[in-house]
């Protein structure tokens, strides 16, 4: 592995007497697309803020581009692009001005900033919105503009905290497409998400975090291989009957999970498992065979689902 | 086994760290100016809301207070503090306008930047430090106060309200007034988190009374003694007296002039440094 651009070792963050991050370690290689997947409150944003050199760590070691953020905050931040969890575009400035003013924070010459701002508006598909007020943009447009803004200094690492949370499916797909392009161009991406499909689409490698700790690490495919079966059968018997139905299914597939709204059977061959269910005389209201996902990995690791 | 500390986390070692060190030189040095630039760009978007008060306020006040109220006073006691009422009140109107501008500029942009539209967090995610963000806002308000002050001063001179050649320095007295009140106000506003409309309370119960009881429209000595302390702690009184010393030579003893200056500078420096610290705590939790 080439020299990592980020090295975190036993990173801890404490707020008062609450440990938000409890000793996590990871490395990110240049050009890699690295994710932190975890539910709300897992400590993803807190970790990102430490990596972004705006939040001092309580313990452990952290090195960004070979520099300690405690001492080299502005230096590190000059090389980062940051997309925070909630947008903080300046609503008093129109779209293009938001980019220009942000570029100036890095001490970049006005001419260069203007040129890049134009290119980035193109990239963000916002060229015709250059003079629009921020309040008149849709959520997806704001997010794209925030990403464009984060690229104004041509960063070595792009940090994205929940880039598509709160967006409708179409806006998410447009955003993923833009991020995928960046990934193809070799930009180092570090992103947090609680959407397993987002992690699967965008991350080369990820850590699953829960309650401030890393539960597992690997590529999406290897995590699924390690912690889940190839396929899953989802059965809904109605919320009152799920638990009792599951009892009668013991032995079908490799493993059974009972959730409040459905029963999951993990099996390498989902269709055969479904036949076995029918063979026991059980008829579900709905049944579905699908491939395993990171959602199943998370469920296996924590006993809870990612969302809610 | 002893190894040299070549991979010490503290030490920049790679090309990437060297590039980072170079890239941060300008923001480290000029960060506050970039914040100022941001404020000026925002002002340009809404220039009418800056230009009309800058011109309208002095004209209105000089007419109403200087000429209107002034002629009433001329018929009564004749003069105030040894000069015509217009000459007496004009420097106070200048400092009171600066005081008012500072109140608004250190309340709203600061409250906005930390909370309502948290652009300070965006600045800080870029290389700018919390201290630079405060400094840039102090600079922006200073620019506005000085420009407004120069317009005010030009109109005062036009109205014949500035006998002394040193008069133009009263614009600096106005700036000191603005910063002396603005520093602590900035620190207070930076510390606010929850919504509770403290802004209106400050404007109504601090800015308003201070404007009225700081020897602005009449000499402090005319107020009952038990109210005069308001003037002594009021940046507006110290700044106004300084402006009067400059525009018509109000004849204050040298030590009192020194007290005005020291008080204005000290309150600013304390408030400003406090604001920088609070901003740091707030942005870098
Ligand atoms: N400034 C703070 N003060 C106190 N607690 C905080 C602060 N920031 C985050 N937390 C807590 O730390 C935990 C992790 O938060 P966060 O990193 O935002 O999680 P995530 O981004 O994974 O949803 C949460 O329980 C949150 O309430
Ligand atoms: Mg978060």
Residue B142, number of CB atoms within 10 A of its CB = 18
CB B45 within 8 A of CB A97: yes
ipTM for the whole complex: 0.93
pLDDT for B15 beyond 90: no
pLDDT of residue A47: 98
Average pLDDT over residues B156-166: 90
Which residue(s) pair with A19 in the sheet?
A14
Provide the pLDDT for residue A178: 92
Torsion of CA B280, B28, B32, A146, to 10 degrees: -80
DSSP 3-state assignment of B68? helix
What is the overall mean pLDDT for chain B? 91
Cβ proximity of A11 and A22 under 8 Å: no
User: Does residue A214 sit in the same domain as residue A244?
Assistant: no
B113 and A91 in contact (C-beta within 8 Å)? no
Q: Is residue B64's pLDDT more than 50?
A: yes
Instruction: State whether the beta carbon of A15 lies less than 6 angstroms from ligand 1.
Output: yes
Q: Which residues contact B104 (CB under 8 A, 6 or more apart)?
A: none
A193 lines ligand 1 (CB under 6 A): no
pLDDT at B152 over 70: yes
State yes or no: pLDDT of B11 exceeds 60: no
State whether B124 and A54 contact (CB < 8 Å).
Answer: yes
User: Which residues lie below 8 Å from residue A86, measured CB to CB, with a gap of 6+?
Assistant: none
- Same domain? For A184 and A146 the reply is yes
pLDDT attached to residue B7: 42
Whether residue B281 is predicted with pLDDT greater than 80 in this model: the reply is yes
Any ligand 1 atom below 6 A from CB of A45: yes
Structural domain contains residue A109? yes
Chain B residue numbers touching A68 (CB-CB < 8 A): 9-10
Across the strands, what pairs with A233? Answer: A265, A289
What element of type H or E holds A287? strand A286-291
- Verify that A50 and A182 share a domain, yes or no: yes
| Residue of chain B nearest A53, judged by CA positions | B125
**Does residue A237 lie within any of the structural domains?**
yes
Based on the fold, state whether residues A197 and A234 are members of the same structural domain: no
> Measuring from atom 10 of ligand 1, which residue has the nearest CA?
A20
Same domain, A132 and A278: no
Q: Which chain A residues have a beta carbon less than 8 Å from that of B42?
A: 90, 92-93
Closest chain B CA to residue A93: B42
Share of chain B above pLDDT 70, in %: 95
Q: Note the pTM of the prediction, 2 decimals.
A: 0.93
Taking CA–CA distances from B114, the nearest residue in chain A reads: A88
A306 located within any domain = no
The tokens describing B270, both together, are 């304390």
Residues on chain A touching B133 (C-beta within 8 angstroms): none
Does residue A122 belong to any structural domain of this protein? yes
Angle at B24 between CA B19 and CA B28, to 5 degrees: 165
Query: In a structure prediction context, what are the per-residue pLDDT tens digits for chain A, which is 308 residues long?
Result: 689 999 999 999 999 999 999 999 999 999 999 999 999 999 999 999 999 999 999 999 999 999 999 999 999 999 999 999 999 999 999 999 999 999 999 999 999 999 999 999 999 999 999 999 999 999 999 999 999 999 999 999 999 999 999 899 999 999 999 999 999 998 999 999 999 999 999 999 999 999 999 999 999 999 999 999 999 999 999 988 898 899 999 899 999 999 988 999 999 999 999 999 999 988 899 999 999 999 999 999 998 887 75
CATH code, domain carrying A271? 3.30.70
Residue of A75, A111, A64 whose CA lies nearest to B25 = A75
* Structural domain includes residue A18: yes
Q: Is residue A185 part of a domain?
A: yes
Report the C-alpha gap between B203 and B176 in whole angstroms. Answer: 19
H or E segment to which residue A100 belongs: helix A95-105
Q: Residues B179-226: pLDDT tens digits?
A: 999 999 999 999 998 877 888 898 889 999 999 999 999 999 888 899
Q: Is the CB of residue A190 less than 8 Å from the CB of residue A28? A: yes
Strand partners, A36: A192, A207
**Ordered DSSP codes for B183-215:** HHHHHHHHH--S---HHHHHIIIIIHHHHHTSS
SS3 A59: strand
Q: Which residues 6+ apart lie within 8 Å of A26 measured at CB?
A: A6, A8, A34, A207, A214, A217
- Using the Cβ of A3 and the Cβ atoms of chain B, whether some distance falls under 8 Å is answered with yes
Quote the domain boundaries for residue A74. Answer: 6-219
Which of A65, A288, A284 shows the shortest CA–CA distance to B23? Answer: A65
3-state secondary structure A64-90: ECCECCCCCHHHHHCCEEEECCCCCCC
A59 lines ligand 1 (CB under 6 A): no
Q: Which residues of chain B does A153 touch, with a Cβ-Cβ cutoff of 8 Å?
A: 23, 126
Q: Is residue A21 within 8 Å of A212, Cβ to Cβ?
A: yes
- For residues B78-101, give the mean pLDDT: 92
Indicate yes or no: CB of B30 within 8 angstroms of CB of A84.
no
Does the CA dihedral A61-A67-A68-A74 come out positive or negative? negative
Task: Please check whether residues A149 and A258 belong to one and the same domain.
Answer: no
* A301 is a domain residue: no
Q: Is pLDDT above 60 for B8?
A: no
In this structure, are A134 and A91 located in the same domain?
yes
Helices (H), chain B: 15-23, 25-45, 48-61, 70-75, 85-111, 119-125, 130-158, 170-191, 198-202, 208-212, 225-233, 235-248, 254-283
Number of domains in chain A: 2
Measure CA of the first residue to CA of the last residue in chain B; give whole Å.
39
Domain identity same for A185 and A284: no
Beta carbon of A307 within 6 Å of any ligand 1 atom = no
* pLDDT-derived band at B13, boundaries 50, 70, 90: low
* Among the partner residues B12, B27, B124, nearest to A78 by beta-carbon distance: B27
- Cβ of residue A40 lying under 6 Å from some atom of ligand 1: yes
Interface mutation target, options B17, B23, B126, chain A, most CBs of A under 10 Å: B126
pLDDT tens for B95-114 read 999 999 999 999 999 999 99
Report whether A148 contacts A110 (CB < 8 A).
no
Would you state the pLDDT for residue A135? 97
Same-domain pairing of A207 and A242: no
**Residues facing residue A288 across a β-bridge:** A234
Rg (CA), chain B: 22
Tokens of A26: 């990871």
Given pLDDT bands bounded at 50, 70 and 90, which one contains residue B10? Answer: very low
Number of Cα atoms under 13 Å in the Cβ half of residue A224: 20
Same domain flag for A113 and A257: no
Distance CA A219, CA A205 (A): 4
A104–B16 C-beta distance less than 8 A: no
- What pLDDT does residue B70 have? 79
Residue B71 has pLDDT above 90, yes or no: no
A68 contacts B9 by C-beta, under 8 angstroms: yes
Instruction: Please tell me the predicted confidence (pLDDT) of residue B73.
Output: 81
Return the domain boundaries, chain B: 32-283
Residue A97 falls inside a structural domain: yes
């Amino acid at each position: 592995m080439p020299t990592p651009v980020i090295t975190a070792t036993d990173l801890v963050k404490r707020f008062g007497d609450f440990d938000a991050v409890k000793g996590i370690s990871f490395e990110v290689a240049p050009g890699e697309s690295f994710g932190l997947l975890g539910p709300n409150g897992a400590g993803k944003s807190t970790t990102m803020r430490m990596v972004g050199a705006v939040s001092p760590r309580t313990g452990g070691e952290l090195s960004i581009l070979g520099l300690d953020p405690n001492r080299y905050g502005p230096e590190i931040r000059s090389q980062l692009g940051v997309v925070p969890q909630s947008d903080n575009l300046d609503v008093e400035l129109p779209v293009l001005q938001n980019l220009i003013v942000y570029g100036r924070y890095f001490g970049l010459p006005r001419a260069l900033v203007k040129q890049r701002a134009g290119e980035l508006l193109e990239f963000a598909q916002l060229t015709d919105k250059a003079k629009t007020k921020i309040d008149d943009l849709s959520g997806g447009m704001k997010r794209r503009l925030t990403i464009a803004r984060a690229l104004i200094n041509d960063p070595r690492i792009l940090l994205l905290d929940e880039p598509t949370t709160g967006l409708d499916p179409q806006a998410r797909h447009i955003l993923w497409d833009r991020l995928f392009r960046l990934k193809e161009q070799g930009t180092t991406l570090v992103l947090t998400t609680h959407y397993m499909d987002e992690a699967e689409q965008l991350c080369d490698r990820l850590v699953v975090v829960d309650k401030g700790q890393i539960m597992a690490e690997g590529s999406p495919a290897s995590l699924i291989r390690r912690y889940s079966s190839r396929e899953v059968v989802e059965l809904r018997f109605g919320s009152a009957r799920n638990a009792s139905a599951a009892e009668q299914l013991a032995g079908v597939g490799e493993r059974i999970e009972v959730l409040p709204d459905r029963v999951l059977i993990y099996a390498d061959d989902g269709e055969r498992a479904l036949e076995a269910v029918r063979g026991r005389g059980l008829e579900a209201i709905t049944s579905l065979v699908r491939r395993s996902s990171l959602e199943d990995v998370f469920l296996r690791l924590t006993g809870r689902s990612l969302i809610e | 086994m002893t190894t040299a500390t070549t991979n010490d986390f503290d030490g920049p070692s790679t090309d990437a760290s060297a590039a980072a060190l170079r890239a941060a030189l300008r923001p480290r040095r000029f960060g506050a100016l970039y914040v100022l630039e941001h404020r000026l760009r925002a002002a340009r978007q809404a220039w009418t809301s800056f230009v009309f008060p800058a011109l309208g306020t002095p004209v209105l006040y000089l007419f109403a207070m200087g000429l209107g109220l002034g002629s009433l006073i001329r018929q009564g006691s004749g003069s105030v503090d040894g000069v015509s009422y217009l000459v007496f009140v004009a420097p106070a109107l200048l400092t009171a306008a600066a005081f008012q501008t500072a109140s608004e500029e250190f309340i709203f942009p600061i409250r906005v930047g930390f909370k309502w539209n948290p652009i300070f967090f965006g600045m800080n995610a870029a290389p700018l430090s919390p201290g630079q963000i405060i400094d840039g806002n102090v600079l922006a308000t200073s620019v506005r106060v000085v420009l407004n002050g120069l317009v005010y001063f030009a109109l005062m001179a036009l109205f014949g309200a500035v006998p002394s050649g040193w008069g133009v320095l009263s614009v600096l007295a106005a700036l000191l007034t603005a910063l002396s009140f603005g520093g602590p106000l900035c620190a207070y506003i930076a510390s606010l988190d929850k919504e509770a409309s403290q802004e209106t309370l400050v404007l109504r119960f601090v800015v308003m009374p201070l404007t009225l009881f700081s020897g602005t429209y009449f000499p402090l000595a005319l107020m009952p003694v038990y109210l005069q302390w308001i003037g002594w702690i009021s940046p507006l009184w110290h700044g106004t007296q300084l402006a009067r010393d400059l525009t018509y030579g109000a004849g204050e003893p040298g030590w009192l002039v020194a007290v005005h200056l020291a008080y204005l500078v000290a309150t600013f420096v304390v408030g400003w440094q406090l604001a920088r610290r609070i901003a740091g705590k707030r942005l870098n939790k």
